[in-house]
Structure 1
């Protein structure tokens, strides 16, 4: 009997050992499953499961296939119907501005000049007299109540009367104009006799007195007397900005212009593994010594465990449409004789463009008006032809904003491989009043031409231009597919033939954004071997009703396999 019992025990042990799952040769750290997973990989656009090992995708495919990488320590993450997409990239924004907008007075929600003044009065109550009060975000064309204005802008009088003892500097939402009070103008030495600067304008009344509005380069007359930010406030601003990025599902960020101090700050954060965000930095193209330094040492790519890249140069051809600073071929419809501003001499832009090209750096020029876009495209074309021996394989030069074109210039983007970096949210915010600036014909033929550009073969990079707009990708995604304001107007959208499809809109935030930063081989899609950067939503943005897109929330943000944000 004992002999049979022993045999039974041996057979039972063999049976158990056969049914136990062997540890895979390579086991995943995490496996995600049970939700829509959109990969942006044309070969497998939607899959059942994703396995991550360290900072890369180990497996992408079926749930059964992912299970073969399940080891004893693998964490199984049930998406429970939530939607996974490649990690979103903010294609054009200002990361320090995002942070400082939270530290300073945020005026974006103000519905009137009176509200703007009240916000400044509130800040003044807790600010020592004589200390600067800085704000940003007001936009007179979005106010529901309009004050008496000069040249389409408010004057400083109401602000100066309410806050007489603090110098106040309030940047327009576009960043291309500012409103100041009398105290700030006194400290800047501005009066009726002040000369107009090149590339800008001090707005003056009919009597010749400054109104408090400083347009384009004229802002420098005030900013030069504002104390520099401290290292402590810079660090605080950057931390706040990073938190915002992660909260809204942003895993990559194209930083539209930085000087040496901020680049050093990014490096400090990255070296301590506090950056985490994949930051793609454009050098401030006005800083000659910075450019000279980088042209000598070359691009810096994927520093500190792939957190930081410096390989582009940011320049400015014109201003903004809202402040009538965008440089137009024909005069503004609502301002006869006004064509906008060329804010940086085109010969300087051409010189820096050629030096950048020969040094292997990408060039990114801010151009909004049709004249500015044409001038920049001409410079790019001349540069490519003049220096063929210096040509990078694909320079991927960019035009930032690219809002308004002459129709003849639209095909030139694809023909030359120039990337239009276009923030769809600008259309949603600006289109209701942009028609006043450009008129119906120019709007229909050349403004916010997304689908026309895509059909021509161009790749569009999307974004928000934060802090000009809130750094919320879903707002730009919604604008891309609806061509409506965030309030849902008008029915059917503005110029609806220019809408993006949802796949195109998602691509503009993922794979095409990666292409514009020379990193489509490592990010922008969910494919084996690429960095495990992911954004997870609580709804399926690719199928839900259009009106539900803005109600969607980010559930989780993952960078290099690390969860950097998880909703409560």
Structure 2
């Protein structure tokens, strides 16, 4: 009798077991989890800001009681997108200066500067975004017109890549730059012996020293503006490639107060004060902020001919570009950082800069495991140097650089050397992963342009036919991994973000269309329709 009773009672007790409580169930979604198997699902259960369960809609609603049900209406859902290399704070500051992106001539630049000054008068004019490669005459401008219009107001106009300034005479005077000034690691351009006003790389620091610094209110506004723009595009984590101590501490205070929500992987700018402070302090980690890397500049940029090349530029005889940080100093820095818990992330564009950085990494990391040091950009690599990436070094690349530079990269590099440029598939095959970003505001913020450039290797007019050096295009799956899980791995954060799996932060994006199947030419027009950060709807 007892035996029969136990058989009857046990199912009744099981049937009465209450459902587990959760905060949100998202259902009726087309979910790409980006887990190891790249599996799919249709529903997630979220509790306390993290994914609790991932599965099918009917199963999860039977299993859990949710305070909120969110119907995704069949739309595609992906992990929160990560920009593995950008200038988040710089993007915010750019909202406060003259926007010169997309200008088609120097005359248009002058007009925009004059209009901005009329609307928002300033005692120090700043702008950013010009690119002489977009003009009919692809030559660097000179300061003459700026001198005529603004003889008593300093003007500093930053090139789109952040590696050159055009300044007027008033700014030169304030910075103490004369015909006798010499600065290693860059160039003060001259024409017929006279300074043109264009400064490439290290000489820019002389001007930086006299530029008025934003006050705290402007800094906070910049960070909030940048967050708004990034979340609008589906970015839930950004890797800011170069921040000072004061800005990092301001970000932390805003996040702790609930005034800034986006997650930030902060690369510490390579200055003596920053290194002394952060290497001594050690890794700083919260749910929103991760400070554990140092950003170093190896060389300049290809567009301003500042990238350090092994052989002269194909379009400027005898010119090799320049190392911004001397070769010996790169090695010393690598040894110092290797002795700490910090990661070293070094900007390297030219083939000479890349091999200098790779050799320094290899030497400093001997006997050290799982350091995940990155080469930021890895833009032009000699064919024999790709093998360095087999030793755990991570290439952090920006696919839109390929489609922005493809019109003139061959002129700069020549037909043979360009074969090792923007070689994302080759880098992936050697390193096993690639971390993908935009380098905004050098490029546009949209991660969908990153995705498109990665898989199509074309501009939005589908040029060139068949794509640019398509042997180095990435697949859609590889690209999505590079913008999510692989980027998280490069930040030592793969256990907390980058895929839709139980235990990870509930950071995700609902897209306007299926990024994995939409016609490739439609990818740039994709939108982030809803954005969730820690289970909280941000858009």
TM-score range (shorter-chain normalised) is over 0.9
For the structure 1 residues 175 and 23, does the alpha-carbon distance in structure 2 shift closer, same or farther, using more than 3 Å as the test? farther
- 1:15-26 aligned at under 5 Å gives the runs 24-26=18-20
Deviation for aligned residue 1:133? 0.8
Give the number of equivalent residue pairs: 526
Partner of 1:311: 292
2:110 is equivalent to residue 117 of structure 1: yes
CA distance in 1, matches of 2:431, 2:86: 24
Deviation for aligned residue 1:468? 0.7
Partner of 1:190: 177
Deviation for aligned residue 1:127? 4.2
- On the 8 A contact 2:22/2:46 being kept in 1, the answer is yes
2:162 is equivalent to residue 175 of structure 1: yes
CA distance in 2, matches of 1:27, 1:194: 73
Which piece of structure 1 moves more, 275-284 or 334-343?
275-284
Deviation for aligned residue 1:165? 3.5
Deviation for aligned residue 1:399? 0.4
CA offset digits 1:173-197 (Å, max 9, x no partner): 0100011122222322333x23220
Partner of 1:10: none
Deviation for aligned residue 1:247? 0.3
Deviation for aligned residue 1:115? 1.0
Partner of 1:4: none
Match of 1:220 among 189, 205, 212: 205
CA distance in 2, matches of 1:525, 1:122: 46
- 1:12-411 aligned at under 5 Å gives the runs 24-43=18-37, 45-71=39-65, 73-128=66-121, 131-143=123-135, 145-146=136-137, 152-191=139-178, 193-206=179-192, 208-285=193-270, 287-301=271-285, 303=286, 306-385=287-366, 388=367, 391=368, 393-411=369-387
CA distance in 2, matches of 1:113, 1:244: 28
Gaps (5+ residues) in structure 2? 1-11
Partner of 1:534: 508
- On the 8 A contact 1:201/1:217 being kept in 2, the answer is yes
CA distance in 2, matches of 1:528, 1:188: 55
CA distance in 1, matches of 2:245, 2:42: 45
Deviation for aligned residue 1:128? 4.0
The structure whose Rg is larger is 1
Q: Secondary structure, in 3 states, of the residue corresponding to 1:333?
A: coil
Partner of 1:477: 451
- On the 8 A contact 1:428/1:486 being kept in 2, the answer is no
CA distance in 1, matches of 2:106, 2:365: 48
Please, what TM-score do these two structures have when normalized by structure 1? Answer: 0.90
2:415 is equivalent to residue 422 of structure 1: no
Deviation for aligned residue 1:474? 0.5
CA offset digits 1:488-523 (Å, max 9, x no partner): 211111011111100011000000000000011111
CA offset digits 1:284-315 (Å, max 9, x no partner): 11x212212222221112x2xx0111000010
- On the 8 A contact 1:33/1:50 being kept in 2, the answer is yes
Alpha-carbon RMSD across the aligned residues, in angstroms, is 1.6
Which piece of structure 1 moves more, 356-365 or 450-459?
450-459
CA distance in 1, matches of 2:349, 2:124: 31
CA distance in 2, matches of 1:26, 1:403: 50
Q: Secondary structure, in 3 states, of the residue corresponding to 1:440?
A: coil
CA distance in 1, matches of 2:328, 2:130: 33
CA offset digits 1:423-453 (Å, max 9, x no partner): 0011111111111100121112x00111112
Gaps (5+ residues) in structure 1? 1-17
CA distance in 1, matches of 2:441, 2:29: 33
Q: Secondary structure, in 3 states, of the residue corresponding to 1:28?
A: strand
